[in-house]
């Protein structure tokens, strides 16, 4: 039932880990406690009496869902929720009571449901939420978060952290990391994004999303939504440019690459379309992806037969894939095989007029006649390969979840030391992209797997520094250095001391980093800053 009601629910296993995802639990062995919990977050009740703040209803659900996904849970997407409400005959703006929320969660097979509300307090905002534990038929204690309106994202991030601790009391990611997760997104940009995905008018949606990416050029979800709007409006060049801005290693990366490939196909840029589909196929070689890669190859005048063979084998019940293989085989001189594939196409879709005409032409039958008895000019035209314009989202997401499970199994088979190293490598990928919550979660698992991992403690030090917890950053950096020399640990300490005005200590630590790696650019730049502050660089 869950798969039927939530066709995109499995996206969030990928959301939690991107293409580097790992379903690792607190023991670092890939336990499924967090990842197995499906959460339904409903829009919050607006108790401010101000219609201008209605957008926060959806923003609350969006922020909480993002944080839950980063924490390793499976929050349903907005599209899933709308689909489920429609399936149950309920309007999109349905605001259930707490009692009816429990019934709704049971109906949707969700493990937990989050209901909440918000109000204003002068220039601030107060948000409260309750977690409904469906299996135990109980409601957990209410949690509250408050702050300035300009810090709205941090307020709901704080709320998400408190709810996460209720879901998993052993959850080890620091509260400060949750608060820092949305620091790079201005509230104004997030408002424009929410309005851009909720406005009923397409032109208004487009305008708001364009404003969102102008205000926050690195805001991936806004680029993804903008790409969808441009694609739906057949503005394919604009759509391809928007999809290219999405983090290709993030939760929307594979879908963005797929639709970027489609946009490039429809724009006539076949070489780049081939590249886009090939990148997706390396991770998830689903039939629709490989088919479109074959189309892009063929449109360049190259031989895509092997790709069409792979596609037809992956989904033998899709008539279009047999049609494409037939075209490719005929084009390259294999008429018997082409006729066989065309027969398979017609067996699956007997009323396919294009395939019928093609079969007659290939078998040498008289050309089709038009209404006036003249030859049909389209009968002899070279047909084009058929493009898969959308993918089976449920299969796509389930395949992604299977990859995560395989990765978790691979990690579980490693020694604790090697498991810790693998987790650190994945965490570093998140850290480099500014995804602090995801990075810390994996670094914590790495420490659990191997408490003597200097790399894991160094990573935690970097996360703590970026989230603004200087004391914790120092503690982790010193823990790393006690286990062995580390350039990154020295750099964390040097940056902290530089910010605190302790220039001598910062110079010593930057110097220690350069002794380990004389060519390290970050250490060189940090030393230049220190020397500029002390006057030694003049």
Q: Kindly list the domain boundaries of the chain, sorted by start residue.
A: 33-183, 287-366+379-386, 412-534
Whether domain 287-366+379-386 has CATH 1.10.730.10: no
Write out pLDDT tens, residues 295-326.
999 999 999 999 999 999 999 999 999 999 99
Q: How confident is the model at residue 100 (pLDDT cuts 50, 70, 90)?
A: low
Write out pLDDT tens, residues 214-253.
999 999 999 999 999 999 999 999 999 999 999 887 778 8
Q: What pLDDT was estimated at residue 101? A: 65
Q: What is the DSSP string of 430-497?
A: HHHTT-HHHHHHHHHHHHHH-TT-HHHHHHHHHHHHHTT-HHHHHHHHHHHHHHS--HHHHHHHHHHH
According to DSSP, the β-strands at 124-133 and 112-121 are antiparallel
Write out pLDDT tens, residues 443-456.
999 999 999 999 99
Q: Considering only residues 9 and 181, tell me which one the structure prediction assigns the higher pLDDT.
A: 181
Q: What pLDDT was estimated at residue 9? A: 35
Distance CA 182, CA 177 (A): 9
Q: How confident is the model at residue 538 (pLDDT cuts 50, 70, 90)?
A: very low
Q: What is the DSSP string of 385-445?
A: PPP--S--HHHHHHHHHHHHHHHHHHHHTS-HHHHHHHHHHHHHHHHHTT-HHHHHHHHHH
Architecture of the CATH domain 412-534? Alpha Horseshoe (1.25)
Q: What is the mean pLDDT of residues 425-433?
A: 88
Contact 23, 57 (CB under 8 A): no
- Give yes or no for residue 16 having a pLDDT over 50: no
Same fold, 287-366+379-386 and 412-534: yes
- Give yes or no for residue 24 having a pLDDT over 70: no
Q: How confident is the model at residue 126 (pLDDT cuts 50, 70, 90)?
A: very high
Relative orientation angle of helices 470-483 and 454-466, to the nearest 10 degrees: 160
Q: What pLDDT was estimated at residue 20? A: 44
Q: What pLDDT was estimated at residue 406? A: 78
Architecture of the CATH domain 33-183? 3-Layer(aba) Sandwich (3.40)
**252: which residues sit within 8 A by CB, 6+ positions away?**
220, 221, 224, 246
- Give yes or no for residue 373 having a pLDDT over 50: no
Q: What pLDDT was estimated at residue 96? A: 64
Write out pLDDT tens, residues 30-39.
333 344 688 8
| Angle at 201 (CA atoms; ends 196, 203), nearest 5 degrees | 75
Write out pLDDT tens, residues 258-288.
999 999 999 999 999 999 999 999 888 889 9
Residue of 197, 48, 216 lying closest to 127 (CA atoms): 48
Distance CA 154, CA 182 (A): 7
Integer-rounded Cα Rg, in Å, for the chain is 27
Write out pLDDT tens, residues 42-52.
899 999 999 99
> How far is residue 233 CA from its own chain's centroid?
23
Q: How confident is the model at residue 434 (pLDDT cuts 50, 70, 90)?
A: confident
Write out pLDDT tens, residues 504-524.
999 999 999 999 999 999 999
Write out pLDDT tens, residues 156-184.
999 999 999 999 998 888 888 888 887 78
Q: What pLDDT was estimated at residue 204? A: 96
Q: Which residue has the tokens 């076949």?
A: 270
Q: How far is CA 159 from CA 130, 178, 254, 438, in A?
A: 10, 9, 30, 17
Q: What pLDDT was estimated at residue 103? A: 63
Distance CA 55, CA 267 (A): 35
**Residue 199 φ/ψ region, left for φ over 0, alpha for ψ in the -120 to 50 degree band, beta for the rest:** beta
């Amino acid at each position: 039932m869950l798969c039927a009601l939530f066709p995109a629910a499995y996206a969030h296993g990928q959301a939690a880990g991107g293409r580097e995802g790992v379903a690792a639990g607190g023991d670092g062995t890939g336990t499924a406690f967090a990842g197995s919990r499906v959460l339904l977050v409903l829009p919050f009740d607006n108790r401010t009496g101000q219609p201008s703040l209605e957008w926060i209803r959806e923003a609350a659900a969006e922020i909480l869902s993002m944080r839950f996904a980063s924490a390793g849970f499976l929050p349903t997407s907005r599209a899933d929720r709308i689909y489920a409400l429609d399936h149950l005959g309920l309007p999109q703006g349905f605001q259930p009571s707490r009692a009816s929320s429990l019934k709704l969660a049971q109906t949707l097979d969700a493990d937990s449901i989050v209901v909440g509300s918000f109000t204003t307090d002068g220039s601030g905002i107060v948000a409260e939420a309750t977690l409904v534990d469906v299996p135990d038929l109980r409601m957990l204690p209410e949690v509250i978060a408050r702050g300035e309106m300009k810090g709205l994202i941090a307020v709901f991030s704080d709320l998400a952290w408190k709810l996460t601790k209720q879901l998993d009391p052993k959850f080890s990611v620091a509260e400060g990391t949750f608060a820092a997760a949305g620091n790079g997104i201005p509230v104004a940009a997030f408002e424009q994004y929410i309005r851009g995905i909720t406005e009923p008018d397409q032109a208004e949606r487009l305008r708001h999303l364009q404003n969102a990416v102008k205000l926050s050029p690195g805001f991936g979800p806004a680029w993804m939504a903008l790409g969808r709007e441009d694609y739906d409006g057949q503005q394919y060049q604009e759509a391809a440019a928007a999809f290219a801005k999405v983090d290709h290693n993030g939760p929307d990366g594979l879908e963005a690459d797929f639709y970027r490939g489609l946009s490039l196909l429809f724009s006539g840029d076949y070489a780049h379309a081939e590249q886009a589909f090939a990148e997706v196929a390396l991770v998830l070689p689903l039939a629709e992806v490989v088919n479109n890669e074959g189309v892009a190859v063929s449109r360049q005048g190259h031989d895509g037969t092997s790709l069409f063979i792979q596609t037809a084998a992956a989904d033998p019940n899709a008539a279009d894939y047999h049609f494409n293989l037939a075209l490719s085989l005929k084009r390259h001189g294999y008429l018997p095989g082409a006729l066989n594939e065309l027969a398979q196409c017609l067996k699956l879709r007997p009323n396919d007029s294009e395939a019928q005409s093609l079969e007659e032409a290939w078998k040498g039958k008289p050309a089709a006649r038009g209404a006036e008895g003249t030859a049909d000019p389209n009968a002899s035209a070279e047909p084009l390969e058929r493009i898969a314009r959308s993918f089976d989202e449920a299969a796509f997401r389930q395949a992604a979840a299977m990859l995560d499970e395989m990765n978790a199994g691979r990690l579980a088979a490693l020694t604790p030391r090697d498991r810790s190293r693998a987790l650190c490598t994945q965490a570093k990928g998140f850290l480099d992209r500014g995804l602090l919550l995801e990075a810390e979660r994996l670094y914590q698992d790495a420490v659990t797997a191997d408490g003597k991992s200097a790399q894991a403690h160094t990573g935690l030090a970097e996360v703590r520094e970026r989230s603004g917890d200087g004391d914790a950053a120092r503690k982790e950096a010193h823990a790393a250095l006690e286990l062995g020399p580390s350039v990154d640990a020295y750099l964390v300490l040097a940056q902290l001391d530089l910010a605190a005005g302790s220039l001598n200590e910062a110079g010593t630590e930057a110097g220690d980093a350069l002794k380990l790696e004389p060519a390290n650019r970050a250490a060189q730049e940090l030393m230049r800053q220190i020397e500029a502050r002390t006057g030694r660089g003049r």
